[in-house]
């Protein structure tokens, strides 16, 4: 049943040989790799206004524009820095790899930890913002927003477990649709304002005018919030192998186009917000408010909301392919559980996908689907990885001193400094609002990674072949110390005894007596059937099987030569369905797990299948 259902949802298991990547040209690479960066426009502007408006009232819009411009400037510095990363890492240069290469183990782990947190937040923030786009258009859905968000995540999880990459081009279409919608909005909005001079219903009239002191701290806080717009820039330099040849040139073109698109879209919407004075309220996003004023509540408005929701989902989806890939690198280096580097039935890193899904759902539930409360956690991780990646590149030029290294070092050095300054701004201004959580999480994850690696190292040491090799076995010697566990005398125990007789002529049967009646019955049957081996019975006053057995084993062990294994044969019923298993308990399994903690015991399970 479950298995048929699973096949239906996930499709049939794929061969390893079927693993292949679709390659993109610039036209398709742009939308697929930039959806994360472009989609952040949907919430970044709003996050700036949410900080400014309560204090500055209608004055907020002027400062918003300046802050937006600063962020776009920051983006261009990043683009120039990352073009050099693309040149140096033709196989893809995420910050984990760049930091590992140039800065060493600890920085790479910090980069890995902050990237992991970011991917999880990308999913949580993007799906929450996608839901906000939907509920802005259909307010009746607002009260179900958490359910809608969780449903999105679950559908994406199933999609990625099935493996969506085969048809990745489809993912490019929503991005282009979003670009078209939003550019139309900007053009029509500007036209209405400057050419038609249509009056705007000014919803800011109720706002207090420049309340309180506009501190530099407030501006920095708004800037920090807006930096959420810069997430997803790394995706392009991560994804170089996905480009058609010349891959590096194509990637650099896409990165440049991406920057101009963000400039137009983020700058344009910020400017529109200042002339249309959109005031974010609960249940209505800024983008939705502007769209409503520009388009009216017609087809174009719904188109805008739909494409916004779609591109945000695409953005979350990029995390579903990047996070498991990152974890697989980390796991291959031994810093994360090895299962994360295994490909699932459909060739995706399914454990990483599931982990991402659970973590994102947890965040959505804990933060009640509120984008504003998630954003402070978001930007800090992004800028840690930017800083590490740029510093890594800087160190690379300094060390290698290849042609033109001074020039290149200046560019990456500038990138590193600027992102580090931004990181400090975000860390300080948002510390109490959630950044502290990231400051605890990252060291915790890094320590966890090192503990995992230490464990794997220890296991590898213990298993290494230095100490002993293959034993010379005297085949004429009989196996000693073979014990068959007997609960009652039936087909299953007889099969086990017969098996035991084959491997040794020197076996004993062992019975733990919990119920007097059952033991008497066994004795009667035993002497009737005469199995020809001794039956040892021990009382168990505490109704526990392990202890009397362990005592007996220990007494045997004293009689044996050092290094000899004691063999326990356990008959085991095997029933076919799950509910039948419930009827037979798991005593045998628990007992076996306890026995195997002793290095002198080998356990033989002899199954008896009940049809």
Does 464 bind a second copy (CB under 8 A)? Our answer is: yes
Considering beta carbons, is residue 4 or 465 the nearer one to a second copy? 465
Does 200 bind a second copy (CB under 8 A)? Our answer is: no
Per CB under 8 A, the segment of 56-64, 196-204, 212-220, 449-457 that binds a second copy is 449-457
SS3 label, residue 176? helix
Considering beta carbons, is residue 202 or 478 the nearer one to a second copy? 478
In angstroms, the Cα distances linking 326 to 182, 207, 246, 319, 480 are 32, 46, 24, 10, 51
Q: Which of 245, 403, 462, 517 binds a second copy (CB under 8 A)?
A: 462
Name the nearest CA neighbour of 54 among 250, 281, 253: 281
Considering beta carbons, is residue 426 or 533 the nearer one to a second copy? 533
CA angle 271, 276, 281 (to 5 degrees): 105
How far is residue 228's CA from residue 41's CA, in Å, rounded to a whole number?
9
Does 576 bind a second copy (CB under 8 A)? Our answer is: yes
Contacts to a second copy from residues 488-517, by CB under 8 A? 489-492, 494, 497-499, 501-503, 505, 514
Q: Which of 1, 5, 8, 16 binds a second copy (CB under 8 A)?
A: 16
Considering beta carbons, is residue 475 or 555 the nearer one to a second copy? 475
Measured torsion, CA atoms of residues 205, 209, 212, 214, in degrees rounded to the nearest 10: 110
x/- map, 347-386, a second copy, by CB under 8 A: ----------------------------------------
Per CB under 8 A, the segment of 265-273, 312-320, 368-376, 600-608 that binds a second copy is 600-608
Q: How many CA within 13 A on the CB side of residue 112?
A: 30
Inter-residue long-range contacts of 418-421, CB under 8 Å, 24+ positions, other chains counted: 418/74, 418/77, 419/74, 419/78, 419/383, 419/386, 419/387, 419/390, 420/383, 420/387, 420/391
Q: What are phi and psi of 537, to 5 degrees?
A: -115, 130
Measured torsion, CA atoms of residues 284, 287, 289, 290, in degrees rounded to the nearest 10: 170
Name the nearest CA neighbour of 611 among 587, 586, 580: 580
We find the least distance from the C-beta atom of residue 315 to a second copy, in angstroms, to be 30
In angstroms, the Cα distances linking 453 to 349, 385, 417, 446, 450 are 20, 22, 32, 11, 5
We find the least distance from the C-beta atom of residue 482 to a second copy, in angstroms, to be 10
Q: Which of 15, 401, 558, 561 binds a second copy (CB under 8 A)?
A: 15
How far is residue 319's CA from residue 123's CA, in Å, rounded to a whole number?
6
How far is residue 46's CA from residue 495's CA, in Å, rounded to a whole number?
72
Does 559 bind a second copy (CB under 8 A)? Our answer is: no
Does 601 bind a second copy (CB under 8 A)? Our answer is: yes
Q: Which of 70, 77, 256, 604 binds a second copy (CB under 8 A)?
A: 604
Contacts to a second copy from residues 522-541, by CB under 8 A? 525, 529-532, 541
Does 14 bind a second copy (CB under 8 A)? Our answer is: yes
We find the least distance from the C-beta atom of residue 468 to a second copy, in angstroms, to be 7
Considering beta carbons, is residue 23 or 550 the nearer one to a second copy? 550
Per CB under 8 A, the segment of 186-194, 267-275, 405-413, 581-589 that binds a second copy is 581-589
Q: Which of 202, 544, 551, 554 binds a second copy (CB under 8 A)?
A: 544
| Contacts of residue 320, Cβ cutoff 8 Å, sequence gap at least 6 | 123, 156, 157, 159, 160, 353, 356
Residue 165 neighbours by CB distance under 10 Å: 17
Considering beta carbons, is residue 275 or 565 the nearer one to a second copy? 565
Does 3 bind a second copy (CB under 8 A)? Our answer is: no
How far is residue 45's CA from residue 54's CA, in Å, rounded to a whole number?
15
Please give the radius of gyration of the chain, using alpha carbons only, rounded to the nearest integer.
32
Q: Which of 456, 536, 556, 557 binds a second copy (CB under 8 A)?
A: 456
Does 4 bind a second copy (CB under 8 A)? Our answer is: no
Per CB under 8 A, the segment of 34-42, 92-100, 335-343, 399-407 that binds a second copy is 335-343
Does 163 bind a second copy (CB under 8 A)? Our answer is: no
């Amino acid at each position: 049943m479950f298995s048929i259902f699973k096949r239906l949802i996930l499709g049939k298991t794929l061969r390893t040989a079927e693993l292949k990547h679709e390659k993109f040209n610039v036209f398709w690479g742009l939308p697929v790799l930039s959806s994360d960066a472009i989609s952040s426009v949907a919430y970044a502007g709003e996050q700036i206004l949410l900080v400014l408006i309560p204090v500055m009232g209608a004055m907020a819009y002027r400062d918003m524009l300046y802050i937006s411009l600063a962020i776009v400037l920051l983006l261009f510095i990043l683009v120039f820095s990352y073009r050099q990363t693309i040149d140096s890492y033709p196989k893809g240069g995420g910050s984990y790899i760049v930091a590992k290469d140039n800065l060493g183990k600890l920085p790479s782990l910090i980069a890995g930890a902050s990237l992991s947190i970011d991917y999880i937040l990308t999913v949580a923030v993007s799906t929450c913002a996608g839901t906000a786009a939907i509920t802005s258009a259909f307010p009746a859905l607002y009260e179900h927003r958490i359910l809608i968000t969780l449903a999105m995540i679950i559908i994406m999880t199933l999609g990625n477990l099935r493996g969506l990459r085969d048809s990745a081009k489809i993912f490019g279409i929503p991005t282009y649709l979003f670009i078209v919608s939003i550019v139309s909005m900007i053009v029509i909005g500007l036209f209405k304002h400057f050419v038609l001079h249509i009056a705007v219903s000014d919803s800011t009239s109720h706002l207090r005018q420049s309340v309180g002191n506009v501190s530099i701290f407030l501006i920095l806080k708004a800037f920090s919030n807006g930096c959420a717009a810069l997430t997803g820039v790394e995706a392009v330099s991560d994804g170089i192998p996905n480009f058609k040849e010349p891959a590096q040139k194509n990637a650099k073109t896409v990165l440049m186009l991406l920057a101009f698109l963000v400039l137009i879209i983020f700058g344009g919407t910020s400017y529109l917000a200042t002339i249309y004075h959109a005031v974010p309220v609960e249940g209505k996003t800024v983008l939705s408010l502007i769209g409503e004023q520009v388009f009216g509540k017609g087809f174009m408005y719904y188109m805008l909301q739909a494409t916004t929701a779609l591109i945000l989902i695409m953005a979350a989806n990029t995390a579903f392919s990047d996070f498991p890939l990152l974890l697989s690198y980390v796991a291959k280096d031994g810093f994360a559980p090895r299962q994360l580097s295994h490909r699932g039935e459909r060739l995706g890193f399914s454990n990483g996908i599931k982990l991402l899904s659970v973590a994102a759902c947890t965040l959505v539930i804990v933060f009640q689907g509120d984008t504003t409360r998630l954003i402070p956690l978001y930007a800090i991780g992004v800028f840690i990885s930017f800083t590490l990646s740029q510093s890594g590149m800087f160190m690379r030029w300094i060390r290698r001193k290849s042609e033109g290294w001074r020039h290149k070092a200046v560019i990456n050095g500038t990138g590193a400094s600027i992102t580090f300054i931004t990181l400090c701004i975000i860390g300080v201004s948002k510390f109490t609002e959630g950044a502290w959580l990231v400051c605890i999480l990252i060291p915790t994850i890094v320590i966890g990674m090192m503990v995992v690696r230490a464990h794997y190292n220890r296991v590898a040491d213990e298993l290494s072949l230095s100490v002993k090799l293959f034993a010379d076995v005297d085949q004429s010697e009989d196996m000693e110390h073979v014990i068959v566990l007997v609960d009652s005398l039936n087909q299953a125990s007889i099969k086990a005894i017969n098996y035991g007789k084959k491997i040794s002529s020197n076996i004993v049967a062992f019975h733990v007596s919990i119920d007097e009646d059952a033991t008497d019955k066994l004795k009667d049957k035993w002497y009737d059937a005469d199995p020809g081996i001794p039956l040892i019975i021990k009382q168990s006053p505490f109704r526990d099987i392990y202890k009397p057995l362990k005592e007996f084993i220990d007494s045997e062990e004293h009689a044996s030569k050092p290094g000899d294994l004691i063999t326990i044969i356990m008959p085991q019923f095997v029933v076919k369905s799950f509910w039948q298993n419930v009827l037979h308990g798991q005593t045998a399994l628990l007992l076996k797990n306890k026995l195997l903690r002793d290095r002198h015991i080998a356990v033989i399970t002899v199954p008896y299948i009940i049809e």
